[in-house]
């Protein structure tokens, strides 16, 4: 007899994953009705926010008829001390990326991933390694180490960067197989949840940071890189310098945020960066995440939310308020309108805000 499988989450996991056999229609319907339930089509699994209360609720929903298994963890990839020649290769990659003005976080990621590659192939001539060998190496990491789609893509990016930019080989030669791209809907907070989170901090700097992120739909990297001169209160916009992809763009500046920022400026008097740390310099991303997590926890908001969820929520709420998609694309700094159109899938769909054609037909009758 088929029964559901509850995968016990790993430490600090945000979701509890659950497999419900297709033939168990009633159980699946009951689980689907639970708050925060979600279907991961690429994994063929359901999930729910990881809390002890939710775990007990799931067990109750399945009437004690379930199996518990441990979620398969990511196995750390083995590393080894690089040879002098391999260390030089790593340095060559870093120099190339810096000269091409890649962001520092991207450079660090590529170096880390290319080190994984060199651990396997540093005793061979990299020019003689075939595409098939590289794909077998990645396949082994997927099967033995359970690496994620994101890890796989980052590894491929680092390998291709070396072969194409350092060795100058044609792109087609190392066109390595990538994972099928999943089209997940971004996590979004309700307007009430956002309001509670934004109003929670007592510290005016903490409040100003969260307000700025949501009101303009900023990434966390964009808010820490804001300069005092980037606030154009007379014209009503924030200037975002060197955003993702080394692009500049503008976004909306809320009137209420202007009022808050003026109070904050009077109290803290930042000199160059809009939000400075205690010892000067940019405010840290770690501190912003800590402020946000505290606000989420103490307002009993969606525990799956991250700072980036505020950006997703901004975009979704703009669409719900009928903001033009082209304007939203510019505010978010997207290259393609297709990226922005993703948020049309996040708007709340129910019979409170949309009328079914059936209802309209029956009204006419």
DSSP secondary structure letters along 283-315: PPHHHHHHHHHHHHHHTT--TT--HHHHHHHHH
Tell me the H-state helices in the chain: 25-32, 52-61, 84-99, 104-121, 131-145, 149-161, 191-199, 204-216, 220-224, 255-268, 285-298, 307-320, 325-332, 337-341, 357-364
Q: Given pLDDT bands bounded at 50, 70 and 90, which one contains residue 228?
A: very high
* pLDDT score at 263: 97
Tell me the backbone φ, ψ of residue 109, rounded to 5 degrees.
-65, -45
Q: Would you say residue 350 has pLDDT above 60?
A: no
Classified as helix, coil or strand, 338 is helix
What is the DSSP pairing of strand 67-70 with strand 5-8? parallel
Give whichever of 27-36, 252-261, 338-347 has the largest mean pLDDT: 252-261
For 275, half-sphere exposure in the C-beta direction (CA atoms, 13 angstrom radius) is 24
Report pLDDT for 174: 66
Lowest mean pLDDT among 81-95, 99-113, 166-180, 256-270: 166-180
* Lowest-confidence segment of 169-173, 212-216, 250-254 by average pLDDT: 169-173
> Tens of pLDDT along 192-201?
999 999 999 9
Distance between CA atoms of residues 177 and 165, nearest Å: 19
Residue 172's pLDDT band, with cuts at 50, 70 and 90, is low
Dihedral of the CA atoms 279, 280, 284, 289 (nearest 10)?
Answer: 70
Per-residue pLDDT for 262 more than 90? yes
Question: What pLDDT sits at residue 38?
Answer: 82
Among 69, 65, 71, 57, which residue's Cα sits nearest to residue 3?
65
* Contact of 5 with 66, CB cutoff 8 Å: yes
In this predicted structure, the answer to whether residue 360 has a pLDDT above a threshold of 80 is no
Active site members:
219, 244, 308, 311, 334, 343
Q: What is the pLDDT of residues 44-99, one digit of tens each?
A: 788 888 888 888 999 999 988 888 887 665 567 877 899 999 999 999 999 999 99
Under 8 Å between Cβ of 331 and 252: yes
Position 314 scores a pLDDT of 93
Architecture of domain 191-345: Orthogonal Bundle (1.10)
Residue written as token pair 């059936």: 358
Question: What is the C-alpha separation between 131 and 101, in angstroms, rounded?
Answer: 28
pLDDT reported for residue 320? 87
The alpha carbon of residue 75 and the mean position of all alpha carbons in its chain are separated, in whole angstroms, by: 22
Same fold flag, 84-174 and 191-345 = no
The strand pairing partners of 19, in sequence order, are: 5
pLDDT tens-place string over residues 110-165: 999 999 999 999 999 998 998 899 999 999 998 888 888 888 999 999 999 999 99
User: Where are the chain's structural domains?
Assistant: 5-70, 84-174, 191-345
pLDDT at 34: 87
Task: Write the CATH number of the domain with boundaries 84-174.
Answer: 1.10.150.130
Mean pLDDT of 234-240: 94
What is the pLDDT averaged over residues 207-221? 95
pLDDT in tens, 278-308: 888 899 999 999 999 999 989 988 877 899 9
Structure token digits, residue 342 = 């993703």
Residue 154 confidence (pLDDT)? 92
Q: What pLDDT score does 163 carry?
A: 93
Cα separation values, 211 from 58, 149, 195, 196, Å = 36, 32, 10, 11
pLDDT averaged over every residue in the chain: 87
User: Which pLDDT score, from 0 to 100, does residue 355 have?
Assistant: 67
Average the pLDDT over 234-242 and give the result: 92
pLDDT at 143: 84
pLDDT one-digit tens code per residue, 2-46: 889 998 887 777 888 898 888 888 888 899 888 888 887 656 788
Residues of the chain with pLDDT > 90, as a percent, come to 48
């Amino acid at each position: 007899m088929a029964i559901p499988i509850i995968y016990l989450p790993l430490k600090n996991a945000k979701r509890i994953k659950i497999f419900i056999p297709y033939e168990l229609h009633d159980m699946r319907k009951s689980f689907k009705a639970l708050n925060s339930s979600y279907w991961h089509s690429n994994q063929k699994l359901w999930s729910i926010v990881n809390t002890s209360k939710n775990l007990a609720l799931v067990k109750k929903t399945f009437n004690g008829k379930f199996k518990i298994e441990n979620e398969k963890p990511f196995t750390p990839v083995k590393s080894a001390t690089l040879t002098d020649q391999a260390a030089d290769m790593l340095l060559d990659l870093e120099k190339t990326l810096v000269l091409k003005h890649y962001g520092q976080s991207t450079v660090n990621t590529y170096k880390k991933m290319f080190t994984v590659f060199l651990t396997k192939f540093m005793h061979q001539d990299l020019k003689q390694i075939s595409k098939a060998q590289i794909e077998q190496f990645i396949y082994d990491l997927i099967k033995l180490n359970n690496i994620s789609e994101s890890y796989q893509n980052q590894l491929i990016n680092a390998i291709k960067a070396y072969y194409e930019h350092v060795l100058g080989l044609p792109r087609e030669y190392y066109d390595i197989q990538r994972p099928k791209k999943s089209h997940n809907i971004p996590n979004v907070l309700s307007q009430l949840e956002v309001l509670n989170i934004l109003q929670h901090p007592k510290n005016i700097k903490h409040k100003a940071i969260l307000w700025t992120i949501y009101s303009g739909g900023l990434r966390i990297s964009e808010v820490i890189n804001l300069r005092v001169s980037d606030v154009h209160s007379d014209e009503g916009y924030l200037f975002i310098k060197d955003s993702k992809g080394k692009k500049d763009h503008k976004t909306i500046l809320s009137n209420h945020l202007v009022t808050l920022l003026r109070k904050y400026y009077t109290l803290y008097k930042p000199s160059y960066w809009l939000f400075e740390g205690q010892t000067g310099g940019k405010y840290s991303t770690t501190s912003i995440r800590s402020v946000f997590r505290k606000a989420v926890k103490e307002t009993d908001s969606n525990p799956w939310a991250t700072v980036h969820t505020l950006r997703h929520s901004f975009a979704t709420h703009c669409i719900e308020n009928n903001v033009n998609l082209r304007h939203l694309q510019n505010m978010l700094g997207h290259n393609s309108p297709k990226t922005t159109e993703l948020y049309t899938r996040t708007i709340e769909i129910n019979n409170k805000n949309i009328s079914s054609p059936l209802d309209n037909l029956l009204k006419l009758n």
